[in-house]
């Protein structure tokens, strides 16, 4: 099952086009639909309000949020740490990938596909 799952993860694509007016909860919902994991945005050290947009998040944090339209492509074979780093590099936002229920952070050294299947 592990080898077959890893092969399927390489073909499980999710594409996100994030605009400054897109709400964080919408981005998170699209992520959950694609990967069955929870994506949480942070405003400093606290969880950002899901009704905020990226542009609004920029007004409430000392860190600059990159507001240009950008595209972030992730696969199930992407490591959790790499995905979180890509969000920071691409959009300048801090995110955490959590389990399906959104209660626990998944380990950084596993893939998003493994996190979705609870293999940790």
- pLDDT (tens digit per residue) in 11-20: 554 454 566 6
Predicted local confidence at residue 75, as pLDDT: 85
Helix or strand (DSSP H, E) at 59: helix 54-59
Ordered by start, the domain boundaries in the chain are 2-117
| Residue 80 predicted with pLDDT over 90 | yes
pLDDT range class, residue 87, cuts 50, 70, 90: confident
Token pair 């972030």 in the structure block, residue: 72
Lowest mean pLDDT among 4-13, 38-47, 55-64, 85-94: 4-13
How far is it, in rounded angstroms, from Cα 117 to Cα 100? 9
User: Which letter does DSSP use for residue 119 in this model?
Assistant: -
At 8, give phi and psi (nearest 5°): -65, -35
């Amino acid at each position: 099952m592990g080898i077959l799952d890893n092969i399927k993860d390489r073909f499980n694509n999710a594409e996100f086009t994030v605009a400054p007016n897109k709400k964080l909860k919408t981005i998170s919902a699209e992520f959950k639909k694609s990967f069955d994991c929870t994506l949480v945005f942070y405003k400093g050290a606290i969880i950002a309000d899901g009704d905020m947009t990226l542009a609004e998040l920029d007004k409430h944090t000392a860190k600059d949020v990159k507001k240009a339209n950008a595209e972030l492509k992730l696969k199930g074979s992407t490591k959790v740490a790499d995905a979180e780093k890509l969000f920071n590099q691409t959009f300048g936002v801090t995110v955490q990938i959590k389990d399906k229920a959104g209660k626990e952070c998944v380990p950084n050294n596993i893939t998003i596909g493994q996190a979705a299947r609870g293999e940790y």
